[in-house]
Amino acid sequence: MYYVSTRNKMLSFTPAEAIAQGLSREGGLFVPQVFPRLPQNALNSLKNMSYQQRAIYIMGMYLEHFTSFELARATASAYSTEKFDTKAVAPVHKVDDNTYCLELWHGPTCAFKDMALQMLPHLLSLSLKKTAEKKTACILVATSGDTGKGALEGFKDVEQTKILVFYPRDGVSDIQKLQMQTQEGENVGVSAVIGNFDDAQTGVKKLFSDEALRAELAERGYFLSSANSINWGRVLPQIIYYISAYCDLLRDMEIVEGQKVNICVPTGNFGNILAAFYAKNMGLPVNKLICASNSNNVLTDFLQTGTYDRNRPFYTTVSPSMDILISSNLERLLYTLSEENDKLIETYMGQLNNEGRYTVNDTILKKIHRDFAAGCADEDSTKATIASMKQEHDYLIDTHTAVAFKVLDDYRKETEDDTVTIVASTASPFKFSDAVLSALDVETEETGLPLLDLLAETTGVEVPAPLASLKDKSVRFTSDCEKEAMKDVVNEFLK
Ligand SMILES: *Cc1c(COP(=O)(O)O)cnc(C)c1O
- Alpha carbon 353 to its chain centroid, in Å, reads 23
* Distance, CA of 146 to CA of 431 (rounded, Å): 10
- pLDDT at residue 172 in the model: 85
Q: Ligand 1 centroid to 109 CA: how many Å?
A: 13
Q: Looking at ligand 1, which residue's alpha carbon is closest to its atom 15?
A: 146
**How many CB atoms are located within 10 Å of the residue 152 CB?**
29
Task: Give the mutation target among 322, 382, 430, 432 for probing the ligand 1 site: most ligand atoms within 8 A of CB.
Answer: 322
pLDDT digits 0-9 by tens, 341-379: 999 999 999 999 999 999 999 999 999 999 999 999 999
* Distance, CA of 213 to CA of 223 (rounded, Å): 10
Instruction: From residue 477, give the alpha-carbon distance in Å to each of 163, 164, 191.
Output: 13, 11, 7
Residue ranges in the chain modelled with pLDDT below 70: none
- pLDDT at residue 228 in the model: 78
The candidate with the shortest Cα–Cα distance to 382, out of 447, 432, 308, is: 432
| Rounded (to 5) percent helix, strand, coil in the chain | 50, 15, 35
- pLDDT at residue 178 in the model: 92
Whether the model pTM is above 0.85: yes
* Distance, CA of 225 to CA of 208 (rounded, Å): 8
Q: What are phi and psi of 119, to 5 degrees?
A: -90, -40
Q: Looking at ligand 1, which residue's alpha carbon is closest to its atom 11?
A: 426
Active site residue 113: yes
Alpha helices in 193-337 (DSSP H): 197-208, 211-219, 232-251, 271-281, 298-305, 330-337
* Distance, CA of 271 to CA of 273 (rounded, Å): 6
Any idea what DSSP says for residue 121?
Answer: H
- Residue 311 and residue 339 in contact, taking contact as beta carbons nearer than 8 Å: no
- pLDDT at residue 243 in the model: 98
- Residue 169 and residue 480 in contact, taking contact as beta carbons nearer than 8 Å: yes
The active-site residue, picked from 47, 83, 87, 113, is: 113
Between helices 51-62 and 232-251, what is the axis angle to 10°? 130
- pLDDT at residue 25 in the model: 81
Task: Give the mutation target among 103, 106, 112, 397 for probing the ligand 1 site: most ligand atoms within 8 A of CB.
Answer: 112
Q: Looking at ligand 1, which residue's alpha carbon is closest to its atom 2?
A: 321
- Alpha carbon 316 to its chain centroid, in Å, reads 19
* Distance, CA of 431 to CA of 113 (rounded, Å): 13
Tell whether the torsion through CA atoms of 425, 428, 433 and 437 is positive or negative: positive
Q: Ligand 1 centroid to 141 CA: how many Å?
A: 15
Q: Looking at ligand 1, which residue's alpha carbon is closest to its atom 1?
A: 321
- pLDDT at residue 158 in the model: 85
* Distance, CA of 425 to CA of 400 (rounded, Å): 8
The candidate with the shortest Cα–Cα distance to 279, out of 48, 102, 83, 18, is: 102
- Residue 348 and residue 361 in contact, taking contact as beta carbons nearer than 8 Å: no
The candidate with the shortest Cα–Cα distance to 263, out of 383, 171, 374, 389, is: 374
Q: What are the contacts of 252-256 at 24+ separation with CB within 8 A? A: 254/94, 254/100, 254/420, 255/420
- Residue 390 and residue 460 in contact, taking contact as beta carbons nearer than 8 Å: no
- pLDDT at residue 48 in the model: 97
Beta bridge partners of 226: 140
Q: Ligand 1 centroid to 229 CA: how many Å?
A: 10
Give yes or no for residue 229 CB within 6 A of ligand 1.
Answer: yes
